[in-house]
Structure 1
Amino acid sequence: MKRWLRQRVDAAYERLLSREIAGAPTHVAVIQDGNRRYARGRGGDAHDGHRAGAETTERVLEWCQDVGVEELTLYTFSTENFDRPPEENERLFDLLVEKLREFADADRVHENGVCIRAIGETGLLPERVREAVAYAEERTRDYDQFVLNIALAYGGRSRLLEAARGVATEVDGGAIEPDQIDVEAIENRLYDQPVRDVDLIIRTGGDERTSNFLPWHANGNEAAVFFCTPYWPEFSKADFLRGIRTYEHRKESWRRTRARRALALLAAMSEPDLPEARSVVDRFRDSLPTAERSDLEEIEGKESAEETGQPGGQGVESIDSSGRAAD
């Protein structure tokens, strides 16, 4: 009876969260933590946890497509994981081979146009895993409706280091000038194919750290981060939707901050010739609390009076506003 009641409550909570969500992040990255602890808590071994976690991965892929996410990156095996017991890694490699081939042949993957890609130092992996990666990538290469990145033998710092070394080598060889090094030059050397900026990082298992995961694409993009306590095999749709809600709150906070900065600039200058600041306010005015919208209306009234020469307006010396609009 208690289980039945819990299922009813969970279903109702999922429906509530679904109604609260107005938009989805484009790229979600997940640190799938807690598989081994989940297994130990049930008297099993690491392999039992990894297999249970693989089932969660399949569900998350469906949830992403349901809400409109376009790219999902899964932190599946880090470079540090090579230090785990060899017998544990061998069983995990066997599971990876099984699931990669299963995904590559699944009807739902082909029906939904899912492109499967591996990112990381895949050359360090056993041959059977590399062959399964190549099979999955080849089978889904032409799809572009959804991208599933599997981070294997992955380390964020090592990827940045390799990219920097590649640029340095090309500069030393005269293939590129130092002043030609830009964001695109680095990104082109990080992965074989483009990876979108990360909007939301989800980490399960209770730890509150991002563990060197996609540092270039996440931190630079100021990604929202959602930490939750369930182990990966226990991760539910309600947890997933709470993560999406965290992203929406982060995005709304960013919009509100932009609007407030632009509003403060307009209030300080009372200058109608600040087009970029006014543009920001106009775009994000709905993010402002009602009281602050009243402040905006007052400023707009003063500007209107200045333009028509009516009382109440005060002249302000013209300034060059280039480059000084709110960030």
Structure 2
Amino acid sequence: MKRWLRQCADAAYERLLSREITGAPTHVAVIQDGNRRYARQRGGDAHEGHRAGAQTAEHILEWCQDIGVEELTLYTFSTENFDRPEEENEALFDLLCDKLREFGDAERVHENEVCIRAIGETEMLPERVQDAVAYAERRTRGYDRFVLNIALAYGGRSRLLDAARGVAEGVADGDLDPDEIDVEDIEDRLYDQPVRDVDLIIRPGGEERTSNFLPWHANGNEAAVFFCTPYWPEFSKTDFLRGIRTYEHREESWRRTRARRALALLGAVSEPELAEARSIVDRFRDSLPSAERPEVDEIDASELETGDSGSQAAD
């Protein structure tokens, strides 16, 4: 009876969260943590935990598509994971081969036009895994409705280091002017194909750290982060929706802050900056509480006052 009541309560909460979700992040990144601890808790080996976690990965792909997420990145195997016992990694590599080929052939993948890509130092992986990666990428290369990135042999700092070396080589070869290096020059050297900025990082398993995951695309975008206690194989749709709600609250707070700052600047900025500040207020005005929202004529008046004071100073 208690289990039935809990299931009913969980289902009701999931429906409530679904109704509260009003927008979806474009790119969600997930650290699949807790597979081994989940298995140990049940008296099994690590492979059983990884296999259970693979089922959750399939579910979150569906949940993302259901609410309109366009890109999902799964942190699956880090460069540090090579230090784990060989028999554990070999079993995981076999599982990766099976799942990559299964995804490459899956009807739902092709129906939803999912483009599968691997990011990381894949050349460090066994040849059979590299072959499976190539198979999944080749089978889904023409799709662009949804992108599934699988981070394999991945290390965020090492990717940034490689990109920095690439830029240094470009400068040394005369292909890049140091004074003209921009964001695109770094991004072009991070991955063969573009990766969107990360809007939300999800980490189950009870740890509260992002573990060097997509530092350029997440930190630079000030991504929202959702930590929760269930191990990855136990991660539910309710947990996922709670993560999406965290993103929405973070986005709403960000919009309010931008609007307030721009509003405060309206009476203090110089004339060239005024148009940008007013544009920000216009864009984010509705995110402010009603009592703080300026009327359009108030914004116009602020512009006139700033313009007048500027003219007097010039006189």
Q: TM-score, normalised by structure 1?
A: 0.90
Give the Cα–Cα distance (whole angstroms) in 2 for the partners of residues 137 and 274 of structure 1.
48
**Residue identity opposite 1:303 in structure 2:** A
Q: Does 1:207 align with 2:207?
A: yes
Q: Write out the 4+ residue segments of structure 1 that deviate beyond 3 Å after TM superposition.
A: 267-271, 313-316
Partner of 1:185: 185
Distance 1:275 1:2, change over 3 A: same
Partner of 1:143: 143
Partner of 1:254: 254
Give the Cα–Cα distance (whole angstroms) in 1 for the partners of residues 175 and 292 of structure 2.
53
Q: Does 1:244 align with 2:244?
A: yes
Give the Cα–Cα distance (whole angstroms) in 2 for the partners of residues 68 and 108 of structure 1.
16
Partner of 2:301: 303
Structure 2: runs of 5 or more not aligned: none
Cα shift at 1:290: 2.0
Give the Cα–Cα distance (whole angstroms) in 1 for the partners of residues 65 and 204 of structure 2.
20
Counterpart mapping for 1:32-47 below 5 A:
32-47=32-47
**Residue identity opposite 1:101 in structure 2:** R
Cα shift at 1:5: 1.3
Cα shift at 1:269: 7.1
Give the Cα–Cα distance (whole angstroms) in 2 for the partners of residues 246 and 142 of structure 1.
33
SS in 1 for 2:266: helix
Distance 1:7 1:178, change over 3 A: same
SS in 2 for 1:207: coil
SS in 2 for 1:117: strand
CA deviation profile, 1:259-301 (whole Å, cap 9, x unmatched): 1112212355799x933222221211111112212xx249818
Give the Cα–Cα distance (whole angstroms) in 2 for the partners of residues 123 and 113 of structure 1.
26
Give the Cα–Cα distance (whole angstroms) in 2 for the partners of residues 245 and 232 of structure 1.
19
CA deviation profile, 1:79-120 (whole Å, cap 9, x unmatched): 000000000000000000000001111000000000000000
Give the Cα–Cα distance (whole angstroms) in 1 for the partners of residues 191 and 252 of structure 2.
31
Structure 1: runs of 5 or more not aligned: 308-312, 321-327
Partner of 1:235: 235
**Residue identity opposite 2:310 in structure 1:** S
Q: Kindly indicate whether the alpha-carbon contact (under 8 Å) linking 1:70 and 1:147 is maintained by their aligned counterparts in 2.
A: yes
**Residue identity opposite 2:165 in structure 1:** R
**Residue identity opposite 2:256 in structure 1:** R
Give the Cα–Cα distance (whole angstroms) in 2 for the partners of residues 66 and 88 of structure 1.
34
CA deviation profile, 1:202-259 (whole Å, cap 9, x unmatched): 0010111000000000000111110111100000001000111111111101110011
SS in 1 for 2:243: helix
Distance 1:269 1:139, change over 3 A: closer
CA deviation profile, 1:147-173 (whole Å, cap 9, x unmatched): 000000000000111111112122212
Q: Kindly indicate whether the alpha-carbon contact (under 8 Å) linking 2:278 and 2:299 is maintained by their aligned counterparts in 1.
A: no
Distance 1:316 1:114, change over 3 A: same
Give the Cα–Cα distance (whole angstroms) in 2 for the partners of residues 185 and 90 of structure 1.
37
**Residue identity opposite 1:62 in structure 2:** E
Q: Kindly indicate whether the alpha-carbon contact (under 8 Å) linking 1:270 and 1:299 is maintained by their aligned counterparts in 2.
A: no
Q: Does 1:60 align with 2:60?
A: yes
Partner of 1:169: 169
Give the Cα–Cα distance (whole angstroms) in 2 for the partners of residues 260 and 234 of structure 1.
40
Partner of 1:159: 159
Partner of 1:102: 102
Partner of 2:289: 289
Give the Cα–Cα distance (whole angstroms) in 1 for the partners of residues 152 and 307 of structure 2.
62
Cα shift at 1:7: 1.3
Partner of 2:310: 318
